Amino acid sequence: MDIKKFCFGSVMNTEAVVLDIKESNKNDMPYLKIGFQNELTYELKKKDIIYGLGENVRGINKKGWIYESFCSDEFEHTEDRKSIYAAHNFLILQGSEIFGVFIDCPGKVIFDLGYTKGDLMCIKVPENNFDLYIIQGNSLKEIAKNFRELVGKSYIAPKWAFGYQQSRWGYKNKEDILNVVEGFKKNDIPIDGVCLDIDYMERFKDFTIDKEKFGDFENFVKNLKSQGIRLIPIIDAGVKIEKGYDVYDEGVENGYFCVDKNNKPFVAAVWPGKVHFPDFLNEDVRAWFGEKYKYLIDKGIEGFWNDMNEPAIFYTEKSLKQVVDKAYESKDKNLDVHSFFELNDSFLSISNRMEDYKSFYHRVHGKIIRHDKVHNLYGYNMTRAAAEAFEKIAPNKRFLIFSRSSAIGMHRYGGIWTGDNKAWWSSLELNIKMMPNLNICGFIYSGADTGGFACDCTEDLLIRWNEFSMFTPLYRNHSANDTRNQEPYSFSPSTTSALRTIIENRYAYIPYIYSEYMKACMENECYFKPMTFEYEDDNLIEDQLLVGDSLMIAPVYKQNAFGRYVYLPEEMVFWNMVSYQNRSFQVLPKGHHYIEVELEATPIFIRKDKILVLGKHSSCVDYLDNKELDLIAFVDERACYNYYDDDGITKEYNNQDFQFKISIEKKDNDYEIDLYAIENCIVKKLNLTIIDTQGKEFKKELFI
């Protein structure tokens, strides 16, 4: 493996990297030039592609814009933004040469990728303290894999977390949750989890339960679990200032909160009003805060989502005073255009101000560090606190945890969702383009708010979005409290029926999705890949993705589209799937095609000499019965598949533990099939459909 490390200044150990790489001499640095103030530059050619930077706006190819890694509570994910919630400082350049660059830095990093000058990539680290890793390899896939070796294995979610999750800010009490569950049951729609948003807490205090609205919580959790449904509560970063509240009292007593310049706990305001921020960079604080999850775990909870952990700041006493004073000053005045906009802007920029991030401090290993310099490690370490606690509480159990803010390193501890998108077609498009870049950066268990968080969703958008989300490891429909309801049964009967079928499709695909996900995590591969990762000589197609090793998808993400163009880099089997039970396959030649895709259809493409594995749906993951699987193989010469499965609950996973390995080889007018299965294989029967390049189907049953 070829990784080179170069050190600039002295940087705090972010613990993003798990390999011990010796520092190289900067004079031997390949590809990049070191300029004024350690700016790193590279001359871009017209056709260069830049992959990576994980959670960000714009396309798979990041070239042509300027990105800033500074985790931001940014709910506008429009093209003009430079950062959203995460700091994923890894990119791969593909041009006349290919290489990867990882900037290991806890503070702001600017990636000017041909924005200031069209032919120049320029990476700047304002603090000037960082480690740079150059990652080499023979292919894009190999570079991505080498990078993942450097930063360690990705978090593995429990299998139930591959089921559908329903969420909404505004499920106010038990009754609301029961109504949701009833809605799913009545309409026969599979479901595995319901997320609890801040409404379940007492006055928005972490690790509390509103006893009036969510009384007898333990039995509530138990009862739902007996129906195969898990509740997934939210935890926020800010701890409410309230005497008598144990988390607040203990935090103050032990000095566990970040402090201001007078060494007093720093005060900011979020959902509960004024809060303190736990100093997650400090390991004692992590151990203390992590332990708190036990309160909910003891009540039967097995999954969480960590939010507002950039950390988001609505206002501070100072920023509030500034705007209020300004408003008073303006009272009764005849404001001219400049003073009006100044006043207006002061309100609009009251939240998440750099000035506030510069006014509090962490205490790490006896050192005092100003927050802005280590800002990107905050959400990472909040989620690490939870994961480290889970490890102590139940060492062999997998918990579900996904975070809003993240940085590379956190990928070992949890998954992410991509924050407050909108019920816009452009948010769906962004979701599609973001997934491969998240995977490249190690965030495999990830997904977006399906249907959109803010704004009102339409039936067609929800259907199209589900057709994409049925492939994302985290498959969650989430929306904000003031929007139109978007549960799958909230629209017309025909929409309910279409969504039921798509969600059933997801469950039938779980054998493939889970097998491919687990292999990606264990072998440091990507689950979602850009097309060029397999077809390196082709142009990058931004709106088609590879899912696992066997599939290509081409989602429809435009309103009122009855179809779309696709490019096939090689011959593939096309399945215009409405329901997974109804199968009709067509071999399409390499090249450009226009395919008709009715609203209810999900276009699936099986790659040449690859195999798709399908099961049957059930009402939840716990009830899936995958003793009998269907294999759909597109065979020109020889197709192989290694099927991975396990209990989905414990950490006893092993990348050699394939349930079965199958190889199907074309021999004149016949096929030679080799099947190897482990003793006690979960699968007992395989129904094979083999499709040849003429589109001829051959069926066979195999018993294990």
Binding site for ligand GLC (CB under 6 A): 169, 197-198, 234, 307, 404, 419-420, 453, 478
Using the minimum distance from each CB to ligand GLC, give the nearer residue, 198 or 432. Answer: 198
Query: With the C-alpha atoms ordered 95, 96, 102, 107, is the resulting torsion angle positive or negative?
Result: negative
Minimum gap (Å) between residue 393 Cβ and ligand GLC: 25
Phi, psi at 430, each rounded to 5°: -65, -40
Note whether 64 and 115 are within 8 A (CB). yes
- In whole angstroms, the minimum distance from the beta carbon of 344 to ligand GLC comes to 23
Q: Decide whether 195 or 281 has the Cβ nearer to ligand GLC.
A: 195
Q: Which residues contact 351 (CB under 8 A, 6 or more apart)?
A: 73, 312, 313, 314, 315, 319
B/e letters for 473-504, b = 16+ CB within 10 Å, e = fewer, are: bbbbbbbbeebeebbbbbbeeebbbbbbbbbb
> Which one-letter DSSP state was computed for residue 51?
E
Q: Minimum CB separation from ligand GLC for residue 419, in Å?
A: 5
Q: How far is the CB of 418 from ligand GLC (least distance, A)?
A: 10
Query: With respect to ligand GLC, which residue has the nearer C-beta, 88 or 404?
Result: 404
Q: How far is the CB of 482 from ligand GLC (least distance, A)?
A: 11
The CB-of-109 to ligand GLC minimum distance in angstroms stands at 23
Radius of gyration of the chain (CA): 25
Rounded to a whole number of angstroms, the minimum distance from the CB of residue 448 to ligand GLC is 11
State how far the Cα of 248 lies from the Cα of 202, in Å rounded to an integer: 14
| Residue with smaller CB distance to ligand GLC, 289 or 453 | 453
- Residue 182's nearest CA partner among 224, 210, 234 is 224
Identify any residues that bridge with 640 across adjacent strands, giving them in sequence order.
Answer: 663
Report which residue's Cβ sits closest to ligand GLC: 169
Q: How far is the CB of 526 from ligand GLC (least distance, A)?
A: 25
Torsion of CA 450, 397, 202, 239, to 10 degrees: -90
**What is the closest distance, in whole angstroms, from the C-beta atom of residue 167 to ligand GLC in the complex?**
8
Identity of the residue, 77 or 666, whose beta carbon is nearer to ligand GLC in the bound complex = 77
Closer residue to ligand GLC, CB minimum distance, 104 or 420: 420
Q: Nearest approach, Cβ of 55 to ligand GLC (angstroms)? A: 13
Using alpha carbons, select from 396, 288, 306, 433 the residue that is nearest to residue 647: 396
What's the CA gap between 557 and 433, in Å, rounded?
A: 11
* CB of 199 vs ligand GLC, minimal distance in Å: 8
Residue with Cβ nearer ligand GLC (14 or 477): 477
CB-nearer residue toward ligand GLC: 420 or 543: 420
Q: Answer whether 686's CB lies under 8 Å from 662's CB.
A: yes
> How many whole angstroms separate alpha carbon 694 and alpha carbon 636?
9
Least Å distance, CB 198 to ligand GLC, is 4
Q: What is the dihedral of CA 336, 337, 339, 345, to 10 degrees?
A: 160
166 contacts 138 by C-beta, under 8 angstroms: no
Burial of 116 (0-12, 13-18, 19+ CB in 10 A): exposed
Query: Based on CB atoms, which residue is closest to ligand GLC, 404 or 529?
Result: 404
**DSSP H helices in 105-234:** 140-151, 174-186, 211-214, 217-225
Q: Which is nearer to ligand GLC, 405 or 618 (CB)?
A: 405
CB-nearer residue toward ligand GLC: 438 or 624:
438
Of 420 and 525, which has the nearer Cβ to ligand GLC? 420
Structure tokens at 352: 């998440």
What sign for the dihedral angle of Cα 409, 160, 639, 535? negative
Query: Measured between alpha carbons, how far is 527 from 443 in angstroms, rounded to an integer?
Result: 10
Helices (H) and strands (E) in the chain, counts: 14, 41
Nearest to 448 by CA among 435, 461, 464: 435
CB half-sphere exposure, 325, CA atoms < 13 A: 6
- Give 376 or 495: the residue with its C-beta nearer to ligand GLC: 376
Beta bridge partners of 391: none
Closest CB 376 distance from ligand GLC, rounded Å:
18
